[in-house]
Amino acid sequence: MWPTRLDSFPLLLPEPRSWPFEVRQVATKSSSRRAPARPWEQAAVRTGERSSTAWPWLLAGGACGATGTIGRSRRRPAERDRRIVRGSSAQMMDWHGYRVRRVTFDESPRDGRPHIVLVHGFGGSIEYWRRIVPALTSAGYTVHAIDLLGLGLSEKPNIDYSIELWATQVVDFCSELEHGSKPDVVLVGNSFGSLISLVAARKMSQAKGIVMLNCAVGMNNKNMLKAPMDGLQKWFAGLVLSLVDFVFKSPVLDFLFSKYATADTVGPILESLYPTNPSAADAEIVSSFVTPAEDPGAVEVLRQIYTGDPGPTPMEIAEDPYFDSFPIKVVWGSQDGLTPITGGVGTYFTRLAKERDNVDFEIVAAGHIPHDENPEAVNKAVLGWLAQKPWQ
């Protein structure tokens, strides 16, 4: 279940392929934080792994999607909409007392096709599906997308964030589609959105398949210490985790993001995540990563993501007998430096595709956000798999 080599772990420092580790921190609860009376509080604590974040992305990329900067104007999510959401209007809906954003494209599926539900990753939002939605709707699918609680333009309450929480949000959202008729769905996730989709699929009979785009190993990487490593490596990893934990629990985090969470900083970082097509990281997508930083509570969301329970690993979830026949399509960017195809998750699903007929693995020329960097290849891969109706 765990990778057998330490070099399968990408590093959270500037040269991710030159060291065997990735780093993050240990969570501690703050007595000032409001404890939410929500259903996910009852979920059991799970084990997790490393996330897919490099150090520059930690400082600036994360700020643009999940954090806030100091001294900016603060606007309610409902006051904004973005032109990326074309052909339909995004709406704010209530979820357990919180305001979350959703959108539906093309509400008349043909031939009884499953609805497609898009689940973004860290720093993402509805907007970064802009180049896959037209292909899916043109092929006759009804497509839905949400901003996960705490991310995008959804509300950012001061609570404990987790894979379990977001999976519960996805399940509840799917159960309310078509006025609660619970249509069949295929979940499409990117980065930790893929992991969220795996967890959510296990919780609902509606799910007929999953498309995983560059799946992350967890919400963060605190449980990397459970991976095989020698004493010195484990000591070093623990030291770095503690240092990152210190930074994220201190005012240093607020300073860093007040300084670096800007379009001028985030733009070049996003370009580096689009190695085969940097020009695709245009002003529109940069804005979609930066704008949520203006919301109240955004910095605290980042703190929670980096210090919270990392959740289960994709490997742990996929080993559940439920997934022995559950259709899974994996699409991976060949030049992803955050979750490299040779890392633990990529290696695991490459092997799984050779062992199970229900798992299909395809490599495309792209980095960590392949659907926006190389939409032609990703759309072809996804639509080809959907056309096979592997759930039948």
Cα–Cα–Cα angle for 74, 78, 84, nearest 5°?
100
Give the Cα separation of 174 and 104 in Å (integer): 12
- pLDDT value for 246: 83
State phi, psi for 355 to the nearest 5 degrees: -100, -25
Number of separate domains in the chain: 1
CA distance linking residue 68 with residue 299, whole number of Å: 5
pLDDT score for 110: 67
Question: What pLDDT score was predicted for residue 240?
Answer: 84
Residue 191 pLDDT: 94
Q: Considering the domain boundaries, does residue 16 fall inside one?
A: yes
Determine, yes or no, domain membership for 371. Answer: yes
Residue 54 confidence (pLDDT): 36
3-class DSSP state for residue 378?
helix
- Predicted pLDDT of residue 107: 64
- Scanning 261-364, the segments in alpha helix (DSSP H) are 263-272, 283-290, 298-307, 314-318, 344-355
**Predicted pLDDT of residue 307:** 84
Given this model, what pLDDT does residue 237 score? 79
- Is 64 contained in some domain? yes
**118 in a domain, yes or no?**
yes
Q: What is the DSSP string of 144-212?
A: EEEPPTTSTTS---SS---HHHHHHHHHHHHHTHHHHT---EEEEEETHHHHHHHHHHTT-TTEEEEEE
Residue 70 in any domain: the answer is yes
From the list 173, 169, 188, the residue with the least C-alpha distance to 118 is 188
Expressed as residue numbers, the domain containing 229 is 6-28+39-387
Query: Domain with 100 in it: what CATH number?
Result: 3.40.50.1820
For the record, the structure tokens of 163 come out as: 């894979």
CB 164 within 8 A of CB 194: no
In a domain, 73, yes or no: yes
- In a domain, residue 381? The reply is yes
Of residues 316, 360, 333, 109, the one with CA closest to residue 215: 333
Residue 33 lies in a domain: no
Could you report the average pLDDT of every consecutive run of 10 residues in the chain (392 residues)?
33 30 30 38 32 37 34 36 55 95 81 93 94 94 96 95 97 93 95 96 96 92 70 84 80 74 83 95 92 86 86 93 97 94 92 97 98 98 97 93
